[in-house]
Structure 1
Amino acid sequence: MLIEPAFFIGHGSPMNALEHNALVQQWQSLTQGRKPKAILMISAHWYTKGTAVTAMPAPRTIHDFYGFPEELHQVQYPAPGSPELAAEIKSLLAPHQVVLDLSWGLDHGAWSVLMHMFPDANIPVVQLSLDQHLAPAEHLQLAKKLAPLRQQGVMIVGSGNVVHNLRMLDWQSTRPPLWAEQFNQQIKEFLLTKNFDAIAQYQYSGEAARLAVPHPDHFLPLLYVLGSMLEGDEISLFNDEILYGALAMLSVQLRNKTPD
């Protein structure tokens, strides 16, 4: 079986679910012609006390936002779940405790991206939560245990934003502030040199990091994609824009070049 790629998607506004802009067209192009056995999604919007994984056969579509058009609230992404994959993830992450969750579903960090990447919603999706008690470096180490899934036909997708500070949004912005550009550039340099340990220590990078990542939830999904890197992977970046002064759409692809 082919080794599935892994993606970190800068997901931005929920309105991207309804858009056909250059950002989402890039998401679509990444997966044309691909049909993984299943998808493991790590979204910024499931930030929990402890680690959980969705284990229901039919996860619901969660509209976890407000103030958006009714059209967005009507979107459904009826992808099946995979209790079997959830059980395997629980086993892979042992002895770290993982709860098999039957109540969450797919939040907008998941479906707003997947509905462009896999519009037919016919591939099983399992969502893994972000344990708020773990340090970023611990998330990275946990993610490494999930890497073998890619060799079994499971695509790993993280959804968040490298720079995400809603209090600093400037709707009239034509040029990002220096702190946003500095942090985004630093993360890009670490990505291209595969210095993932430095990325997992981002919180010690000074004032720019404090402003770019005031809360870790949108940054942590990146670490799950990086932790899934396999021998033979090449890393590439795309959608490198900073919107409204405080929302980086920087996205990452890991694609394996090992001959079959």
Structure 2
Amino acid sequence: MNAINENDYTRALKGWKKPELPPKAILVISAHWETEGTWITGMDHPQTIHDFFGFPKALFEVQCPAPGDGKLAQKIATDLPDQNIQVDQEAWGLDHGTWAVLCHIYPEANIPVLQLSLDKKKSLKEHYELGRQLNYLRDEGVMILGSGNIVHNLRAIDWNLNAKPHHWNVEFDEWVAKHLEDKNFQPLVESPLKSEAGRLSIPTLEHYLPLLYVIGAADPRDSLDYLFEGYQNASMSMRCLSFG
């Protein structure tokens, strides 16, 4: 619903002070594309995917006309032969993990967008290491965008958007934030599930994994900026961050 609603979170995305030079392309790691093996979208005109049900008609009418970049997709696959990245020409496109964010920060939809899938068989460390290998793309003008949630527990959701967050939501979100600010990323890779707060915050991994790509692609000289800090529906952290 954040794609079509106005709230503190969406206003923060719209108000983000973007880099002076727009990226040449955006590579998105979305929580909503899990696969066997690692895939990257390679079509020049990716379809808009509405990968959900039971929501208002207006959400199904959202379209993301951003182009793709087949040549860049093939280049990335070639650049990282050990990852055995497969180029998808027709099966996927841009899911709501991608367009629900980009519609606020780049509403013009004139920058090529690619999606990289989450290999269900990779360990947390392997996802992080792939993020590190993608770091070189930043020097080539490619923005690496992770779309998920630090905390995402639908089993504990309160349908009141502004409900008080569960104590474990706040505890884990602040634990992650401290390690981000200290640039001490290893606990985020090695031990997010060791605490009860972590296990409640990450009942399944897919919404947490995009963060590992972002911190993997971060550079020691980067500064950390929070676009937004807050919670929704009691069991979601909406913390948004950027390195640059």
Same fold (TM over 0.5): yes
Match of 2:176 among 187, 195, 202: 187
In structure 1, how many angstroms separate the alpha carbons of the residues matched to 2:193 and 2:210? Answer: 18
In structure 2, how many angstroms separate the alpha carbons of the residues matched to 1:179 and 1:45? Answer: 24
Match of 1:56 among 43, 53, 56: 43
In structure 2, how many angstroms separate the alpha carbons of the residues matched to 1:66 and 1:204? Answer: 30
Does the aligned pair in 1 maintain the 2:193–2:202 contact within 8 Å? Answer: no
In structure 2, how many angstroms separate the alpha carbons of the residues matched to 1:19 and 1:34? Answer: 28
In structure 1, how many angstroms separate the alpha carbons of the residues matched to 2:147 and 2:12? Answer: 15
* Unaligned stretches of 5+ residues in structure 2: none
1:24 and 2:10 are equivalent in the alignment: yes
**TM-score, structure 2 length as denominator?**
0.94
Match of 1:115 among 97, 103, 116: 103
Does the aligned pair in 1 maintain the 2:40–2:86 contact within 8 Å? Answer: yes
C-alpha distance after superposition, 1:101-150 (max 9, x if no partner): 11200000000111111111111001000111011111101111111111
CA RMSD of aligned residues (A): 1.5
Q: Match of 1:151, as an amino acid?
A: D
Aligned-pair identity in percent equals 43
Does the aligned pair in 2 maintain the 1:92–1:146 contact within 8 Å? Answer: no
1:235 and 2:224 are equivalent in the alignment: yes
Q: 1:166 to 1:204 in 2, by over 3 A?
A: closer
Which has the higher relative contact order, 1 or 2, with Cα contacts under 8 A spaced 6 or more apart? Answer: 1
Moved over 6 A (4+): none
Partner of 2:155: 167
In structure 2, how many angstroms separate the alpha carbons of the residues matched to 1:165 and 1:67? Answer: 18
Does the aligned pair in 2 maintain the 1:143–1:227 contact within 8 Å? Answer: yes
C-alpha distance after superposition, 1:11-70 (max 9, x if no partner): xxxx11112322122212223754211100110000111100000110000000111111
Q: Secondary structure at the match of 2:223?
A: strand
In structure 1, how many angstroms separate the alpha carbons of the residues matched to 2:140 and 2:230? Answer: 33
Q: 1:231 to 1:68 in 2, by over 3 A?
A: same
* Unaligned stretches of 5+ residues in structure 1: 1-14, 256-260
Q: Secondary structure at the match of 1:216?
A: coil
- How many pairs align? 241
